[in-house]
Amino acid sequence: MKIGLTKFNYPEIRCVTTSQENDYINLKKYNIYYYFNNIPVIKNYFHRFLFKPISVKNVDVIHSFNDICLTNNKWVVTFETMLPRFLDILSNHKNLNPEYIYNDEINKYLEVVARDNCLGVIALSKSAKKIQSDILKAYPKVRDKIEKKMFVLYPPQKIYTTQHEIEEKVLKPLKLIFVGNDFYLKGGAECILAINELLEEGIISENEIMLTVVGILNRTHNYSFGIYQDDSDFSKNINTIIMNRKNIKIYSNVDNNKVIEMIREHHIGLLPTWADTFGYSVLEFQACGCPVISTDVRALSEINNNDIGWLINVDKNKYGEIVVDSYSKKDLCRRTIIDQLKKHILSAYENPNVVINKGVESLNRIKKEHSIDYYNDKIKSVYTIGI
């Protein structure tokens, strides 16, 4: 089949262009909003995440990621948080007591999603589906039509190791790896602080544990903090620790194939993130036989648990979001993340067999829940007959 893409970024590559049976055609430059949103004078008058083709021919189905398609063509949408992805409602789910009320503009685009030529509404996670279902409660005229074609389908994941390779790993020293370009948002600083405290307390020595960081350290802004950002002294302290610790290595601008090679050489993946819609790196860790220490925000509690990894339990709202509404609350949450990181790292250090067992179970989970063949079959059924 010929599948049109509304754009061709990482999410589309990760979640849409997955089958060798299909030809994928990038329609980005056929989108009238692509041009509107690149004109400084008028771009703020238009919503992002809309696709209205100037002309679309020779495609069987359009498959978008987060974009609502204003077209008579058949189309499918995969979304990570909500539809429509407009500023009017985009941040609501991050409030302490989030709620959704009727809005004419939102209704206008939900009516587009409800039409018969939208064949499927694919939630990337149960978390996303819950948010969307709660939004739809405010729109009873379209609710049933959309919910009938909305379902959860986790992203597919390639396997990079075998059970035998996992069981052959030697866990001395214990090798940890953090992957995330948004270093501070994804919890990179907390990883540094946790390792440093374990070393300062004499619980583990530098030659018994290694931390590899793949990320961009100058991305100090953390959108989940809102107005309660860390000051420059915080990042300076992180940089000082890194410079003074021989067992902490930093890499940036590493291509994905090299990242996978690096993960395979490590024992545990780290993602103590403050906010994440899904957590693709968790899948890559698990596919390499690396169990993961992660927070339990949003979809992370769906793809990681204490049987296959370690969860850091943090205070969250009903949609699984950490709500930072004061400096003291941010500091308290940071302390929780660091303390639980230390606890889980020490447990892994003292129980290497547990690390191996969790690695095997992580791999088994990927095979069961993120099968490429199952994913492609399900998507094909949506393309051909709808839901």
Q: Are residues 211 and 120 in the same domain?
A: no
Give the number of other Cβ atoms within 10 Å of residue 46's Cβ: 12
Q: Are residues 18 and 139 in the same domain?
A: yes
Q: Are residues 140 and 205 in the same domain?
A: no
Q: Are residues 139 and 172 in the same domain?
A: no
Q: Are residues 87 and 180 in the same domain?
A: no
CA dihedral 23, 28, 30, 31 (to 10 degrees): 130
Task: Provide the number of structural domains found in the chain.
Answer: 2
Q: Are residues 128 and 169 in the same domain?
A: no
Residue 65 host element (H or E)? strand 61-65
Give the global pTM: 0.92
Q: Are residues 134 and 176 in the same domain?
A: no
Q: Are residues 263 and 364 in the same domain?
A: yes
CA proximity to 189, closest of 158, 221, 157 = 221
Per-residue pLDDT of the chain (387 residues; tens, 9 = 90+): 999 999 999 999 999 999 999 999 999 998 888 877 666 655 555 578 999 998 887 899 999 999 999 999 999 999 999 999 987 777 777 777 888 999 999 999 999 999 999 999 999 999 999 999 999 999 999 999 999 999 999 999 999 999 999 999 988 999 999 999 999 999 999 999 999 999 999 999 999 999 999 999 999 999 999 999 999 999 999 999 999 999 999 999 999 999 999 999 999 999 999 999 999 999 999 999 999 999 999 999 999 999 999 999 999 999 999 999 999 999 999 999 999 999 999 999 999 999 999 999 999 999 999 999 999 999 999 999 765
CA-to-CA distance for 282 and 176, rounded, in angstroms? 13
Q: Are residues 281 and 252 in the same domain?
A: yes
Range of the domain at 72: 2-156+371-385
CA-to-CA distance for 32 and 51, rounded, in angstroms? 7
Q: Are residues 7 and 32 in the same domain?
A: yes
Alpha-helical regions (H) of 94-183: 104-114, 126-136, 140-148, 163-167
Supply the CATH number for residue 249's domain.
3.40.50.2000
Strand 248-251 and strand 209-216: the pairing is parallel
Give the number of other Cβ atoms within 10 Å of residue 88's Cβ: 11
Q: Are residues 142 and 230 in the same domain?
A: no
Phi, psi of 240 (to 5 degrees): -65, -45
Q: Is the peptide bond before 40 cis (omega within 30 degrees of 0)?
A: no
